[in-house]
Amino acid sequence: MSPAMDEAIELRRKCPQFRILVLGRANAGKTTLLKKVCESIEDPAIYGPNNKRAKCARGIHDIELQLIFKSNPGFIFHDSRGFESGSAEEVAKVKDFIDKRAATGTLSHQLHAIWYCLPTDSALGKEP
Protein backbone atom coordinates (compact mmCIF):
# COMPACT_ATOMS: atom_id res chain seq x y z
CA MET A 1 0.00 0.00 0.00
CA SER A 2 1.01 3.60 -0.51
CA PRO A 3 2.03 5.80 2.44
CA ALA A 4 -1.06 7.97 1.82
CA MET A 5 -3.33 4.92 2.04
CA ASP A 6 -1.59 3.75 5.22
CA GLU A 7 -2.11 7.21 6.71
CA ALA A 8 -5.80 7.21 5.75
CA ILE A 9 -6.33 3.78 7.31
CA GLU A 10 -4.60 4.88 10.52
CA LEU A 11 -6.68 8.07 10.67
CA ARG A 12 -9.90 6.10 10.18
CA ARG A 13 -8.84 3.73 12.98
CA LYS A 14 -8.31 6.67 15.34
CA CYS A 15 -11.53 8.38 14.27
CA PRO A 16 -14.17 6.00 12.89
CA GLN A 17 -16.92 8.66 12.89
CA PHE A 18 -17.04 12.12 11.32
CA ARG A 19 -18.54 14.69 13.73
CA ILE A 20 -20.57 17.59 12.29
CA LEU A 21 -22.27 20.55 13.98
CA VAL A 22 -25.39 21.63 12.07
CA LEU A 23 -26.53 25.24 12.49
CA GLY A 24 -29.59 27.00 11.12
CA ARG A 25 -32.95 28.36 12.09
CA ALA A 26 -35.95 26.14 12.73
CA ASN A 27 -37.46 24.78 9.49
CA ALA A 28 -34.30 25.56 7.51
CA GLY A 29 -34.28 21.95 6.27
CA LYS A 30 -31.54 20.62 8.56
CA THR A 31 -33.19 17.26 9.21
CA THR A 32 -34.13 16.87 5.55
CA LEU A 33 -30.51 17.52 4.55
CA LEU A 34 -29.19 15.01 7.10
CA LYS A 35 -31.62 12.34 5.93
CA LYS A 36 -30.52 12.86 2.31
CA VAL A 37 -26.83 12.72 3.21
CA CYS A 38 -27.37 9.53 5.21
CA GLU A 39 -29.82 8.04 2.69
CA SER A 40 -32.46 7.54 5.37
CA ILE A 41 -36.19 8.03 5.70
CA GLU A 42 -36.06 7.35 9.44
CA ASP A 43 -35.21 9.84 12.16
CA PRO A 44 -31.78 9.46 13.75
CA ALA A 45 -31.13 7.72 17.04
CA ILE A 46 -30.28 10.24 19.74
CA TYR A 47 -27.53 9.66 22.27
CA GLY A 48 -26.41 11.69 25.26
CA PRO A 49 -22.81 12.74 25.87
CA ASN A 50 -22.38 9.48 27.81
CA ASN A 51 -23.24 7.53 24.61
CA LYS A 52 -26.47 6.22 26.18
CA ARG A 53 -29.70 6.43 24.18
CA ALA A 54 -31.60 9.60 25.03
CA LYS A 55 -35.27 10.40 24.68
CA CYS A 56 -35.96 13.78 23.17
CA ALA A 57 -39.19 15.38 22.02
CA ARG A 58 -39.30 16.58 18.42
CA GLY A 59 -38.28 20.21 18.14
CA ILE A 60 -36.20 20.15 21.32
CA HIS A 61 -32.55 20.81 20.57
CA ASP A 62 -29.63 20.16 22.89
CA ILE A 63 -26.32 20.76 21.17
CA GLU A 64 -24.67 18.09 23.36
CA LEU A 65 -26.91 15.32 22.00
CA GLN A 66 -25.49 13.12 19.26
CA LEU A 67 -27.70 12.24 16.29
CA ILE A 68 -26.70 9.05 14.49
CA PHE A 69 -28.53 7.51 11.54
CA LYS A 70 -28.72 3.72 11.45
CA SER A 71 -28.20 3.88 7.68
CA ASN A 72 -24.88 5.71 8.05
CA PRO A 73 -23.30 5.41 11.50
CA GLY A 74 -20.06 6.93 10.20
CA PHE A 75 -21.47 10.40 10.94
CA ILE A 76 -22.32 12.00 14.29
CA PHE A 77 -24.42 15.15 14.04
CA HIS A 78 -25.00 17.85 16.67
CA ASP A 79 -27.96 20.19 16.14
CA SER A 80 -28.02 23.68 17.60
CA ARG A 81 -31.21 25.47 18.55
CA GLY A 82 -30.60 28.20 16.02
CA PHE A 83 -30.12 31.92 16.23
CA GLU A 84 -33.43 33.22 14.92
CA SER A 85 -34.48 34.46 18.34
CA GLY A 86 -31.36 36.64 18.45
CA SER A 87 -30.55 35.25 21.87
CA ALA A 88 -27.04 36.03 23.04
CA GLU A 89 -27.39 32.99 25.32
CA GLU A 90 -27.86 30.65 22.34
CA VAL A 91 -24.86 32.13 20.52
CA ALA A 92 -22.78 31.71 23.69
CA LYS A 93 -23.86 28.04 24.01
CA VAL A 94 -22.76 27.31 20.44
CA LYS A 95 -19.46 29.14 20.89
CA ASP A 96 -18.78 27.28 24.16
CA PHE A 97 -19.60 23.95 22.49
CA ILE A 98 -17.23 24.68 19.59
CA ASP A 99 -14.47 25.81 21.97
CA LYS A 100 -14.91 22.74 24.17
CA ARG A 101 -14.78 20.38 21.19
CA ALA A 102 -11.72 22.16 19.77
CA ALA A 103 -9.87 21.87 23.09
CA THR A 104 -10.35 18.12 23.47
CA GLY A 105 -7.22 16.11 22.80
CA THR A 106 -9.16 13.25 21.25
CA LEU A 107 -9.66 13.48 17.50
CA SER A 108 -12.91 11.52 17.60
CA HIS A 109 -14.44 14.05 20.04
CA GLN A 110 -13.49 17.11 18.00
CA LEU A 111 -15.76 18.72 15.42
CA HIS A 112 -14.68 17.89 11.89
CA ALA A 113 -17.10 20.20 10.09
CA ILE A 114 -19.71 22.88 10.75
CA TRP A 115 -22.63 23.15 8.35
CA TYR A 116 -24.74 26.32 8.37
CA CYS A 117 -28.10 25.74 6.70
CA LEU A 118 -29.95 28.60 5.05
CA PRO A 119 -33.58 28.28 3.99
CA THR A 120 -34.07 28.65 0.26
CA ASP A 121 -37.84 28.93 0.25
CA SER A 122 -37.85 32.74 0.44
CA ALA A 123 -35.95 35.60 -1.20
CA LEU A 124 -32.37 35.78 0.11
CA GLY A 125 -33.32 33.72 3.16
CA LYS A 126 -35.60 36.51 4.45
CA GLU A 127 -38.98 35.82 5.92
CA PRO A 128 -41.89 36.51 3.55
Counting as low any pLDDT under 70, the low residues of the chain are 56-60, 82-86, 122-128
Pairing of strands 113-116, 18-23: parallel
78 class by beta-carbon count within 10 Å (0-12 exposed, 13-18 middle, 19+ buried): buried
Question: What pLDDT does 98 receive?
Answer: 96
Contact 79, 67 (CB under 8 A): yes
Domain map of the chain by residue range? 15-125
Residue 72, pLDDT score = 93
Per-residue pLDDT, 124: 54
The gap from C-alpha 116 to its chain's centroid, in whole angstroms, comes to 10
pLDDT of residue 53: 84
Query: pLDDT value at position 56?
Result: 64
pLDDT tens digit string along 90-116?
888 899 999 999 999 888 999 999 999
d(CA 109, CA 107): 5
